[in-house]
Amino acid sequence: MNQTRFNPMSDRVLALAGLVQALAQVRRIADTGQAESAAVNPVLESIFQVDAASTEEVYGGVRGVRPGLVLLRDYFESRSADEQLPRLALAVMQLERRFVRDGDMVERVHAGILAQSDTARTEGSTHPDVLAALGRLYSETLSHLRPRVLVQGNPHYLGQPQVVAEVRAVLLGAMRSAVLWRQLGGSLWDLVLRRAQLLAAVRAHLGG
């Protein structure tokens, strides 16, 4: 990643916003069977941005993670409406530590993503074939690590293979953001010790 455009706290909150935005869509898909396209598309596209020149470019610009930034602002201001979201985020952050230490799995995930990059570029990252492939990739790799990310929702939708595949694909997008967050120097301690700085960075991205 091009470090000339690196701003530690500013970039960090974009990655964190990508993470919570992905998990909010996981929750939505599990509950309703459908994602919100404007919020889920940048998350899925981020999976394929392996050589982005900046953190913003990973998400197609700050606007791509605006929903996640709003969620972060509400969380840091103690106005979050979804109690499950912080728990899911913590689970993904813990899973990220196990994932990056497993070199073979990292290579398998990377290869699996590259195998779908042409289809994603021509058909779109939300194409059913892409979602199915990403879902299988998550199932065959990350789902075997502990702690598992447990997603609650409507059994009617979670019993449908295409919905489960989309949930897993978006979880892969959440992991993409979790890895990026850590690469940018983020840690769980930031959420405890640097809340004010994170909130200030979130507000700056949101325009005040």
Q: What domains are there in the chain, each with its CATH number?
A: 3-206 (1.10.3890.10)
With contact defined as beta carbons under 8 Å apart, do 103 and 97 qualify? no
Q: Which amino acid is at 139?
A: S
Residues 91-117 pLDDT 10s: 999 999 999 999 999 999 999 999 999
| Residues of the chain under the 50 pLDDT cut | 1-5
Asked if residue 176 lies in contact with residue 6, where contact means CB atoms within 8 angstroms, the answer is no
- Rounded to an integer, what distance in angstroms lies between the CA atom of residue 162 and that of residue 87? 25
**If we measure between CA atoms, which residue out of 110, 81, 80 comes closest to residue 175?**
110
pTM: 0.95
